[in-house]
Amino acid sequence: MNKEIKQRFCQQLGNERVRFEERMCDHTTFRIGGPAEVFVMPESYEQIAWVIRQCRQEAIPYFILGNGSNLLVSDHGYRGVIIQLDRNLGEITVNGMEIRAAAGALLSTIAATARRASLSGFEFAGGIPGTLGGAVTMNAGAYGGEMKDVLKEVTVMNQDGEILRIPADKLELGYRTSIIKTAGYIVLEAVILLKKGNIEEITALSRKLSAQRIEKQPLEYPSAGSTFKRPEGYFAGKLIMDSDLRGYRVGGAQVSEKHCGFVINTGGATAEDVSTLMKNVTDIVYEKFGVKLEPEVKFLGRFDGR
């Protein structure tokens, strides 16, 4: 990317909202990743649309970043523009039994807002370490609940910068997918429809689910959450465990001994460590059980072994 284009980003967004060669390990829950060529933090929908138009006009790759919770960034970094939404677009408002939240709002913050308003139905998402935008795009779920259970409508931006409002029944929400993902839309905000509940009961359920996560998941280590999608008729973690891969390591990356569905960064893991480990696990599980594991983690940038 030439100097003139980089200066254009600074002029349009302000120097304080543009960074160059920003370390992506500071922006992912894996704590892994090389530098992003350009890292922008737009504060309005107009700025998002402007950045996307510039990227498309100049044929510059771009990526929308939330909390970086389901992401493995290459050790080589990302040659393009990272558009971060989580810190600047996180407004949450309550109106009756509806919560309207911007794409950058953390799921944990939305869950806390719902609890304070005595609204039930979002407890499942309280411990998912991501933002609303990513959760809607991939129809995130946990403990028997999914985003499709609570979504009413979503406001998105298409690649031409146009803003569209899509009702939930038109989102084609499936297991870790949606029309938002397949069409390349950017989530701007969403309306969540919940039920009136009892704050004590909501608090008790939230605490119960939190305790289960602490007991069963390796939250003490950096990770990207569940590493593989759930194969139909199976559980990825059990297949990995039954393949005698509990604790299996490549460099600083390890299959968690606490929960085999998680790959963790034990300290100093590289993206190549994680990528190699995932490939090896996939091959071994397929050889033993004939089941092909698919990554739930998104790979961003260049990986030498893939």
The pLDDT tens digits of the residues spanning 194-239 come to: 999 999 999 999 999 999 999 999 999 999 999 999 999 999 999 9
Nearest alpha-carbon partner for 39 in 90, 105, 84: 84
Residue written as token pair 């997918």: 177
Q: What is the C-alpha separation between 51 and 36, in angstroms, rounded?
A: 15
Q: Say how far residue 60 (Cα) sits from the centre of its chain.
A: 22
Domains and CATH numbers, the chain: 3-84 (3.30.43.10), 92-202 (3.30.465.10), 219-300 (3.90.78.10)
Query: How many angstroms separate the first and last alpha carbons of the chain?
Result: 25
Residues designated catalytic: 176, 226, 296
pLDDT of residue 247: 98
Question: With contact defined as beta carbons under 8 Å apart, do 95 and 84 qualify?
Answer: no
Element (H, E) at 236: helix 236-242
Q: Which residues pair with 93 in a beta bridge?
A: 100
Structure tokens at 116: 């304070």
Nearest alpha-carbon partner for 144 in 122, 116, 170: 122
pLDDT of residue 171: 94
pLDDT of residue 305: 65
Question: With contact defined as beta carbons under 8 Å apart, do 158 and 183 qualify?
Answer: yes
Residue written as token pair 């909390």: 67
Q: Say how far residue 129 (Cα) sits from the centre of its chain.
A: 8
pLDDT of residue 306: 64
Structure tokens at 12: 């349009």
Spans of the chain, pLDDT less than 70: 305-306
